[in-house]
Amino acid sequence: MKLRTEIAAIVAVLLLPAGAWAADFRSVAAPRAVLYDAPSAQGRKLYVVSQHYPLEVVVNLGDWIKVRDAGGAVTWIEAAHLTDRCCVLVRVEQADVRATADVSAPPLFRAGRDVVLELLEVAPPGWVRVRHRDGLSGYVRVTDVWGV
């Protein structure tokens, strides 16, 4: 009986719609936010992230959220320090931000590694539309950024 229950659970997970597999990303709302090793202000302070830094939600406990950063570290942050406004982090040496979602389009600007860009929309497959804090916006390949 236990084996049947386990098989049924596995099948149910495999039949989830593709959107159910999508990662949940949020960005830091506060100018600076402390990441902890446990879901408590009494936990050990690990490091600080700056405003707009993207984090992947792993577990949501209400007031505390377990998150993963771009380097893969799993930590805890107070939920009040996050916003649903999404940003992405450039993961390559230089990402070309183009006028259209096409590799042959000329770059509008280049963003270096670890630059944070506001996510405006998920564009045609393989591209996202982003905006730099200076106001310039365009399309970047999803493989060049983290946070989508």
Span 1-34, pLDDT tens digits:
544 434 433 433 334 444 445 689 999 999 999 9
Burial (CB < 10 A; 0-12, 13-18, 19+), residue 127, is buried
pTM of the model: 0.80
Which of 51, 53, 82 has its CA nearest to residue 66?
82
Note the Cα 17 to chain centre separation in Å.
20
Q: How far does the chain reach from its first CA to its final CA, in angstroms? A: 40
